[in-house]
Structure 1
Amino acid sequence: MASKNYLSGLFGASPVAPLQAHMTIVDECVTKLIDLFENMASGNTAEVEKIYQKIASLEQQADDKKQTLREHLPSGLFMPIERQDLLDALRTQDLLANRARDIAGIIVGRKLQFPEQAAQRVIELVKATVETCHQALRVVNELDELVETGFRGHAVHVAEVMLAELDDLESATDRIQVSLRADLFAVEKELYAVDVMFMYRIIESIADIADDAERVGRRFQL
């Protein structure tokens, strides 16, 4: 009975509740990158460090929730989603929070600041990436309706529209990334070479968050 009550506490009334709870934390973690990059652009290093700590804390919360679910999810649990698919989805979602923490860690560790020509563009990229993450969360939250309707009817159409919007948002981040790389290339000879290397790494990692957010949605399409 105690085990049953514990599982009930984990999943509530929804078989996809753990995915939704985990993705909500992940989304909050990634969203903090906006504040981090805006404070980086203004040179407020003290605030950047505070935001990094918040991101690291949220990433740890997401990781703890993932580990708890992995340890207590019964192999014979009957759900509309296969156990392995659920675990794979959790891992994909967790990547978003991990990347956000790594990005913030590089900025804090190197006291990095993008040059003026690229500073606003990188904020634009971060905001577009956060919107992609928001949309992935909306898709995950739509799973309740899909489960209740047996993956049929109007709910499927709604999910397909949301996935199309997710694709468009991810494509927008690709376009911004191209412009940002051009902005940085134009001035990189004036910058410390190692810092430039890390800036390109950060740009790639931000783009990876958008890619992984799209993967979250596409996993449920399958």
Structure 2
Amino acid sequence: MVSRNPLGNLFGRSPIGPIQEHMQIATEAAEHLPELIQAAADNNWDRAREIHKAIKAAEKEADKLKRSVRRHLPKSLFLPVPRSDLLALVAIQDQVANTAKDFASIFMGRDMRFPDKMFPAVLELTATSVACCQHALRAIQELDELLEVGFTGREVKRVEVMLKELDKLERSTDKQQFALRRKLFRLENELPPVDVMFYYRATALLGTLADSAESVGDRLQILLAK
């Protein structure tokens, strides 16, 4: 005879694991970007195409998880935070995967290689933006603990420290992006105008990636305040 757990049936599937998994996959999409940029710089386009494929696959998987969370998130009163807040959190997390895919699509659509004078600054900005995503992920990985303690106590303070570090990292990307734009501005006369336009667009997307990660932290901060 199959054992049945009445409490399990009552509460249904916990939404927290899928939400954390969704952010994990979104972050993995972002983590491919430094290697993609380096592969193009090395003229290793076979490798670049493999990485692009992995980014698209991660974004697709994130979309599937987002839809699953929307379908299965309980509507009962047993959630310690409003259901709408968790759905909003997943939507914001999804922007991380979407932005990574958008960058990769523009990058590969033009066989983009950043000029040598820009390349170190681009890698630095990319690394810091990815670090923002990783910090946001670490905070989201504490969500189940936060729910267990009712968003009170030491766990809240620990997550708040994480979110402050995330904010600090995002501010670093603002400075890096500004410096990169100034560098590109000085190179404009040496580069094809259409290429310049897409360099600006690509670097803006790297900044958007960090902004999206910070938005995840901001949404979590709102949950902590309730």
Normalised by the size of structure 2, how large is the TM-score?
Answer: 0.90
1:206 aligned to 2:206? yes
Rounded to whole Å, the distance in 2 between the matches of 1:182 and 1:38 is: 22
Match of 1:83 in 2: 83
Match of 2:153 in 1: 153
Rounded to whole Å, the distance in 1 between the matches of 2:86 and 2:149 is: 19
Match of 2:134 in 1: 134
Following superposition, the deviation at residue 66 of structure 1 comes to: 0.5
Following superposition, the deviation at residue 81 of structure 1 comes to: 2.2
Most deviating of 38-47 and 120-129: 38-47
Alignment of 1:2-151 (within 5 A): 8=12, 10-11=13-14, 15-76=15-76, 78-151=78-151
Rounded to whole Å, the distance in 1 between the matches of 2:55 and 2:81 is: 30
| Partner AA of 1:38 in structure 2 | Q
| Partner AA of 2:85 in structure 1 | D
Deviations 1:91-138 (A, max 9, x none): 100011011011101111111111111011111101000100000001
The alignment-based identity, stated in percent, is 43
- RMSD, aligned CA: 1.8
Q: Is the 8 A contact 2:19 2:69 kept in 1?
A: no
Q: Is the 8 A contact 1:55 1:101 kept in 2?
A: yes
SS of 1:112's equivalent? coil
| Partner AA of 1:137 in structure 2 | L
Following superposition, the deviation at residue 39 of structure 1 comes to: 1.1
- In the alignment of these two chains, the number of paired residues is 216
Following superposition, the deviation at residue 164 of structure 1 comes to: 0.6
Most deviating of 124-133 and 43-52: 43-52
Q: Is the 8 A contact 1:129 1:210 kept in 2?
A: yes
Match of 1:195 in 2: 195
Q: What stretches of structure 2 of length at least 5 have no aligned partner?
A: none
Rounded to whole Å, the distance in 2 between the matches of 1:43 and 1:159 is: 41
| Partner AA of 2:94 in structure 1 | D
Rounded to whole Å, the distance in 2 between the matches of 1:41 and 1:148 is: 47
Deviations 1:51-106 (A, max 9, x none): 00000001000001111221232433631221111111111000110110111011
Deviations 1:163-194 (A, max 9, x none): 11011111111111111111211112111111
Rounded to whole Å, the distance in 2 between the matches of 1:159 and 1:74 is: 25
Match of 1:162 in 2: 162
| Partner AA of 1:84 in structure 2 | S
Normalised by the size of structure 1, how large is the TM-score?
Answer: 0.92
1:216 aligned to 2:216? yes
| Partner AA of 1:66 in structure 2 | K
Following superposition, the deviation at residue 148 of structure 1 comes to: 1.7
Deviations 1:132-167 (A, max 9, x none): 000000110111222222211111110111111011
Following superposition, the deviation at residue 207 of structure 1 comes to: 0.4
Q: Is the 8 A contact 1:77 1:83 kept in 2?
A: no
Following superposition, the deviation at residue 197 of structure 1 comes to: 0.7
Rounded to whole Å, the distance in 2 between the matches of 1:103 and 1:68 is: 25
Rounded to whole Å, the distance in 2 between the matches of 1:77 and 1:138 is: 27
Rounded to whole Å, the distance in 2 between the matches of 1:118 and 1:77 is: 53
Rounded to whole Å, the distance in 1 between the matches of 2:36 and 2:67 is: 27
Following superposition, the deviation at residue 47 of structure 1 comes to: 1.3
